Each structure stands twice: as C-alpha cells, then as structure tokens.
Amino acid sequence: MTHIAKSIATMFACLWAGIAGAQANFPDKPITVIVPFPPGIVDGYARLVANKAGAILGQPMVIRNQAGAGQRIGTDALAKSPKDGYTIGVITNAGVVSGPVLAPNVPYDPVKDLGYLTMIFESHYLINTQPASGIKSLQQLVQQAKAAPGRLKFGSTGMGTGFHLATEQFVHSAGVQMLHVPYRGESPLLTDLIGGQVEMAFSSMASRALAEQGKLAPLAYTGEKRSALLPNVPTVKELGIPHVSSGWLGFAVPAGVPATVRDKLIAALTAAVKDPEVVTNFTTGGGEPRNLSGDAFASRVKRELDDLRELNKQLKITLE
C-alpha cells in the first residue's frame, strides 16, 4: 500500500509540475480570438489590439469571426472554449449585459461562465435633435416632454440595442415619457431625425460630422466629462440629470483559466491599449481608451447587469 501511495503521489506531482510548466511557458502557440461581429469597424478594432498584444506575447493572435444573434453566438462559443488561455474573445455590453437580461434562454451566465480580462475602450453617446425642431437645450427637451407625456418621439437603432437602452435609461432618469420609434441601424435613424420624424435620438460620436454640417443639433454628451472632440457640448450630468451611458469593447476568457495565464493576457492587452497607434485609432473614432481589468472589469459588468434587470422590470423588453 505504501508503494502504491508513493506511486500515486509521484504521478500527481508530475502532473502538477507539467501544468505549472505549461502555464510558465504560456503562450507557446497561437491564440484564437473569437470576435462576435462580421468583418467591419469593430472587427478592425479587435484586430489592431490583438496584433499588438500578440507581438508583446510573442505569439500571433488569430481572429475567428463568429457573428449572429446580437453577439450571443460568439459569446457562447467563448464561454464553452477550453480553459487554457489559448481562446479569448471580444465582448461588449450587448453580449454580456443586454443579451443575458433581455433574451430568453441565453445558454451562458456572464458572471459564472466568463473571466474578464480588459475593457479596451468606451464610447459615449450624443443626444441630438435637429435645428428646425426649435429645441435649443436638453432642459427645453425635458420640459416639453414633461408638458406633453408620450407626445415627443425618440428614435433608436432597434429594440434592445445599446442606443435604445441608453435612451430609456435617460428618459427614466429625467422622469419623462417619450414614444420609442425603432430603426434598422444608425443611418436610417439619423436620416429621419434630420427630417423631423423624431424629435430626439442618441447617436455615436461619428455623427458629429452631421452636426458640423448644421444638420444635427447636439444637446448633450453622456460621458462623465466633456469630449475633446466636441468640447462645447455639455454632459448630461452637468445639466442636472444623473445619467451616464456608453457602449464598450473588451476581452474575456472562459471562467477557470489559470490566474497566471489570465494575468499574462491582461498585461499584454493593457500594454496594447496604450500603444500610440491604438490610442489614435480609438480617439479619432470617438472612443476613449480604458484600462479596466480583472475584478474591476467583472464588477462593472455585474453592476450593469443589476441596473438593467431593475430597469427592465418597468420596460419589459424581450429580445427574439
């Protein structure tokens, strides 16, 4: 029995030594990056950061686009990937917050099934009207909405999207009622806003070009502080409404990846986000580079989940 016990102990010692060695040598082969988007703008951001992080780690990061179902297909694939650090994934608040809260039967738990690496950038919204509306300020918009509940209309990029939920949160914070008009994307939304079919809409910072052309009138910005791209546009909080909202992009791994491996990935991604090319790429597109990693990132996701669950008790939105 003593001989058997010694043999078992030796076997486990060898096993743990092998695991520790593999973690110490990580990475020794390419890393797959699941991107829950088709090729395009977000895919381009992911590739840029992945290329920089791969160079830091000494192994390439290979993009695998796995789009569909509001990012839930790619996020589910990430959650079910091997827990060795060789598969990581791009995540947004759509895939790990609004999807799990609003869509029935999502096959992953964003708290239990994912390990959070680094949020790489955050993009706040503009609140717009159009010049012919006669609305000159956010306060005036709120006053008109309070005077005629449900008469003013706001547009969004679709039911349950980031634009929609951010606007609903603003409406709730301002204590007003407005009629929601969903569109299939930002371009048709802004076309109708310019044409006066809706009185207000949230938009990305890319829409500032329309403001410069005099086609849109930005009333406020949803960041904590004013954007350097539009320094004359006040924040919502400055105007007395406690509202901050954004879309964000980050990286995660399946839950259970060893801490030493996770820490190496976090360090590489954090360094990549500080690269001057990455910073310039993000800021010119209206994004704000972020360095929110590990437990702090996970806590942010948990807070957003709790907030949306509470809000949706009133909204009762269900995604298909």
Domain boundaries, the chain: 31-123+247-315, 126-221
| CA quadruple 152, 157, 158, 161: dihedral sign | negative
Say what the pLDDT of residue 41 is: 85
Q: What's the rounded Cα separation, in Å, for the pair 19 and 24?
A: 9
Terminal C-alpha separation, the chain: 60
* Same fold: 31-123+247-315 with 126-221: yes
* Sheet with strand 179-182: strands edge to edge: 179-182, 153-156, 200-203, 126-129, 217-221
**The pairing of beta strand 87-92 with beta strand 246-254:** antiparallel
Domain 31-123+247-315: homologous superfamily in CATH = Bordetella uptake gene, domain 1 (3.40.190.150)
Domain boundaries 126-221, corresponding CATH code: 3.40.190.10
Tell me how many degrees the CA angle 135-141-144 measures, rounded to the nearest 5: 100
User: Which mean pLDDT values do the consecutive 10-residue runs of the chain (320 residues) have?
Assistant: 62 52 84 94 93 98 95 97 98 95 96 98 96 95 97 95 94 96 94 97 94 96 94 96 95 98 98 96 91 96 96 89
